């Protein structure tokens, strides 16, 4: 799942939902995800705040493969050219790979963040569910083990839970998520708002999916996911999301029409190409 930083007006709902339990894994396991490779072109959609960008352009590569029996692999890369004005242009390059088993019991993750071709940080590790909570073993940025006494969803499981909730007609889903980002020691409380379903053959997209007959037969939903820093929430006070993403989510897990809100600026992401891949059926 793609991510972006931004506050949204979802605070009251988030506070109410923080005590709700995570849906069972059975709800996620009933959702089949399609293997695919998608490319999204990014551009500046809005700007605000003291650190507003003059212009932004970039691209996201999202390469997802796997199944419930063999696990899910993701290769992700986002390159953005940031122009803050007066000739100041910087290039951000985030590269990440992950593997999550089909039962959502194990997660391996690796990411590198470059800024103007200089490596700023690197994260490498794996997480595994324990009897109560989950444990993390990191090799980067520092070798260490951390145990968390809380229940979370891993990234692919989170997508499957959202689709399962959407199929049931739910409009809100609150799930703590761990994806190994930041320093590999952070949990995000997430609030997902699911809009009214868009029926097959209705509101045909104008992007790379426009001529794909397979998607014309699929249901999709407008979705907004807000991410809250759990550590800050424990300190009390008003809860505001640290980043958010809006998109249309198909029932096979493919996303289109991205809106990445970074607080001081907002990017839109248009799907410019998609390649569907064969997925081996589970025995």
pLDDT by residue (tens digit) across 107-155? Answer: 999 999 999 999 999 999 999 998 889 999 999 999 999 999 999 999 9
For residues 21 and 218, give the distance between their C-alpha atoms in angstroms, rounded to a whole number: 29
CB 136 within 8 A of CB 185: yes
If we measure between CA atoms, which residue out of 67, 127, 120 comes closest to residue 94?
120
Per the CB < 8 A criterion, the answer to whether 93 and 82 are in contact is: no
Range(s) of the domain holding residue 108? 11-275
Lowest mean pLDDT among 82-86, 176-180, 208-212, 252-256: 82-86
| 281: in domain | no
pLDDT in tens, 37-92: 999 999 998 766 555 678 889 999 999 999 999 999 999 999 999 988 777 889 99
* Predicted confidence (pLDDT) at residue 23 exceeds the cutoff of 80: no
Average pLDDT over residues 147-170: 95
Look at residue 240 in the predicted model and tell me its pLDDT: 78
Q: How many folded domains does the chain comprise? A: 1
At 167, the pLDDT band (50, 70, 90 cuts) reads very high
280 in any annotated domain: no
Residue 84 or residue 196, greater confidence: 196
Q: 226, exposed or middle or buried, with CB in 10 Å at 0-12, 13-18, 19+?
A: buried
Q: Residue 213: inside a domain, yes or no?
A: yes
Q: What is the token pair recorded at 194?
A: 């699911």
- How far, in Å, are 19, 186, 245 from residue 231 at the CA level? 16, 8, 21
Look at residue 2 and tell me if it is in a domain.
no
Q: Does residue 4 sit within a domain?
A: no
- The rounded distance, in Å, linking the Cα atoms of 14 and 226 is 9
Per-residue confidence (pLDDT) for residue 28, from 0 to 100:
58
pLDDT for the residue 17: 34
pLDDT at 229: 85
Q: What is the pTM of this model?
A: 0.87
Question: Does 6 map to a domain?
Answer: no
Sign of the Cα pseudo-torsion (94, 89, 81, 177, in order): positive
Of the chain, the end-to-end C-alpha distance in Å amounts to 27
Q: Report which of residues 203 and 10 the model is more confident about.
A: 203
124 within domain boundaries: yes
Q: What is the pLDDT of residues 245-282, one digit of tens each?
A: 999 999 999 999 999 988 778 899 999 999 999 887 77
Looking at the domain assignment, is residue 116 inside a domain?
yes
- Among 67, 64, 57, 126, smallest CA distance to 92 is for 57
């Amino acid at each position: 799942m793609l991510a972006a930083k931004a506050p949204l007006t979802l605070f009251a709902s988030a506070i109410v939902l923080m005590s709700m339990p995570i849906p069972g894994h059975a709800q996620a396991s009933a959702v089949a995800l399609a293997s695919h490779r998608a490319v999204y072109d990014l551009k500046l959609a809005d700007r605000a705040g003291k650190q507003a960008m003059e212009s932004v352009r970039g691209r996201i590569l999202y390469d997802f493969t796997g199944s419930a029996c063999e696990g899910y692999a993701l290769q992700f890369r986002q390159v953005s050219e940031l122009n803050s004005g007066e000739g100041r242009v910087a290039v951000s390059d985030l590269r990440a790979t992950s593997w999550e088993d089909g039962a959502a019991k194990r997660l391996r993750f690796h990411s590198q963040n470059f800024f103007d071709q200089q490596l700023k940080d690197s994260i490498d590790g794996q997480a595994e569910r324990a009897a109560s909570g989950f444990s993390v073993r990191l090799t980067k940025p520092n070798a260490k083990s951390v145990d968390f006494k809380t229940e979370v969803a891993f990234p692919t499981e989170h997508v499957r839970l959202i689709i399962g909730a959407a199929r049931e007609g739910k409009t809100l889903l609150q799930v703590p998520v761990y994806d190994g980002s930041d320093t590999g020691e952070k949990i995000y409380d997430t609030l997902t708002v699911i809009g009214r379903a868009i029926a097959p053959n209705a509101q045909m997209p104008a992007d790379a999916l426009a001529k794909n007959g397979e998607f014309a037969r699929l249901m999709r939903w407008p979705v907004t996911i807000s991410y809250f820093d759990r550590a800050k929430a424990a300190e009390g006070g008003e809860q505001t999301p640290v980043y958010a993403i809006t998109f249309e989510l198909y029932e096979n897990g493919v996303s289109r029409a991205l809106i990445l809100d970074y607080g001081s600026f907002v990017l839109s992401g248009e799907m410019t190409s998609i390649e569907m891949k064969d997925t081996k059926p589970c025995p």
